[in-house]
Structure 1
């Protein structure tokens, strides 16, 4: 009876000691085993493990990819055009001893400290890299090379924390609010200047086309007038030749025909008045009863 009183507590203590010496590493974690604050074991694989109770301390670290959102910061590119840059990064813990030395903590507290230090590193590298290029390069859609440069520059410093920077991405690059209005006004002025240049070129082209058209019209009118005068001269010459031929064949008839033309023009209906003496030659054919010239 007395032995059972002593054995039962011993058994309980042994079971408790065995249970406290067993710990399980999750597949999403990595573990450091510390003995009196000194690292004695690093466990990277999931499974069942053992420790010395009361002597060993198990510190867990996240083995997954961790994302951090960096606070928006102002950068000054090489063309002195201020920009607000918002970025994020992804990293993974790769060296448990280094992150333990750098942060002096484990679990979520270690991640919080690592996030803050990595953000400081990335902010400095972002200002350095983006300060070497123009704002046009930063605002363009093809900026993968810039993000790769920031990542590569941060890898060396981040390795001292026991972490590996996997990726850095620029989420947003905008102008500061105080510069938006000036930028908009400058854009409007540039568009107005371009529009005025286009209008000036249009007026110049219109003037050139109008001058060419006017010259073409003058040339066409001149050619037409010259051809008309040639045709009219040829017609007059032909008419005079006909008249001359007719006059040569019958002189009296030709004189009679010309007198009738003169009567028609001179005695046409209108306000015209003829004042002359009766013996005038103009009425020779009118005074003759036979239509001949009066003798």
Structure 2
């Protein structure tokens, strides 16, 4: 009975050990095994990276460190950048990155610390973006250079500058092989690349994007005030030009009116004079044909105009005057 219980205990213990020995790596993950705090390496002294699938580790001795293999987004807070013209711009941006070398990433970030990785990446990205902005003026940044700018920043982050090349695997000494350079074969296999690049962190920048570019608030307000003053000056200039044109148009219109009225008056006087001449000629012709009849008609018209219809007219004239000759009784 006791042996049966011991057997069951042993079986259970074995199953438990098997359970804690097996680990699963998802498609979006990669795993590094730590044995007594040191990275497990292969025969070439390179860390063993476990891909997706089911794997086994030594229980209680080895621990796993899960690293995210997906493309991640780093949102960079809006910051002030100086252009080539010494003008400040507020730039809001973000970048996409992923881990390409899990060994370097684990070493550079102090054990795969994502926060530390983003901090280092953000600092490098900010420095590179500041350097690129310092080589461009505001017009190039705002108009057609944004696409080229982001590509240049991405390439510069991934490749770094050509003046600083170091052996990045030095940092691996701090983890688990301090005597790595004693082996000539291993030393020849050490990768040499630019320490200014993101590759030094085991990271690749996939994409860089600028979400917004604007002027600082105090600069924007000053520019808006200047633009408003310029527009007001232009408006005043247009109004003064309009008033000048209006005065010219009114003066031209008044001149045309005066000339037209003068021409019309001249024509009217001319026609009136011609009419008077014709009328005088007609009267003269009629008078020449029968002077007595003409004198009689003129006297009747004079009587009509001289005597009021109300009968209140008073005329003091001599009765022998020629004016009343047609009012006297006819004589033989």
Give the TM-score normalised by the residue count of structure 2.
0.67
**2:47 and 2:103 in contact (8 A); partners too:** no
Unaligned runs of 5+ in 1: none
**1:63-116 deviation digits (Å, cap 9, x = unpaired):** 22222221321112344442222222222212212313422312xx1x112211
Contact kept in structure 2, 1:77 and 1:135, CA below 8 Å: no
Paired residue secondary structure (2:83): coil
Counterpart in the other structure of 1:115:
118
Check whether the contact 2:23–2:54 (CA below 8 A) recurs between aligned residues: yes
Which position in structure 2 is the counterpart of 1:96? 102
Report the secondary structure of 1:69's partner residue.
strand
How far is the alpha carbon of 1:119 from its aligned partner?
0.9
Cα distance change of structure 1 residues 290 and 218 upon mapping to structure 2, 3 Å threshold? same
What SS does structure 2 have at the residue aligned with 1:70?
A: strand
Is contact 1:285–1:291 with CA below 8 Å preserved after alignment?
A: no
Given the superposition, is the C-alpha separation of residues 136 and 241 from structure 1 closer, same or farther in structure 2, using an over 3 Å criterion? Answer: farther
Point out where structure 2 has 5 or more consecutive residues left out of the alignment: 160-196
Alignment of 1:1-295 (within 5 A): 18-33=18-33, 36-37=38-39, 38=41, 39-44=46-51, 46-52=52-58, 58-106=64-112, 109=113, 111-131=114-134, 132-134=136-138, 137-138=141-142, 143-156=146-159, 157-259=197-299, 278=318, 283-287=321-325, 289=327
More relative contact order, 1 or 2 (CA 8 Å, 6+ apart): 2
Looking at structure 1, the residues matched to 240 and 61 of structure 2 have their Cα atoms a distance apart, in angstroms, of 89
Query: What TM-score comes out, normalization by structure 1 length?
Result: 0.74
* CA distance, structure 2, for counterparts of residue 284 and residue 142 of structure 1: 113
Q: 1:289 to 1:199 in 2, by over 3 A?
A: closer
Give how far 1:168 is off.
Answer: 2.8
In 2, are the aligned partners of 1:72 and 1:84 still within 8 Å (CA)? yes
- Report the Cα offset of residue 202 of structure 1: 2.1
Paired residues, number: 283
User: Does the 8 Å contact 1:34/1:40 carry over to 2?
Assistant: no
Give per-residue Cα distances to partners, 1:109-159, cap 9 Å, x unaligned. 1x1122111111221232233341316953x79955544443344333323
Mapped partners of 2:128, 2:17: distance in 1: 51
Deviates more, 1:72-81 or 1:8-17: 8-17
* 8 Å CA contact retained: 1:91, 1:165: yes
Deviation at 1:61, TM superposition (A): 0.9
Describe the superposition over 1:21-46 as per-residue Cα deviations: whole angstroms up to 9, x where unpaired. 432112221123456434442233x2
Contact map agreement 1:78 1:135 (CA 8 A) in 2: no
Task: Determine the C-alpha separation between the residues in 1 that align with 2:237 and 2:132.
Answer: 38
Q: What is the Cα-based RMSD across aligned positions, in Å?
A: 4.1
Taking structure 1 as reference, are residues 246 and 2 closer, same or farther at Cα in structure 2, changes over 3 Å only?
A: closer
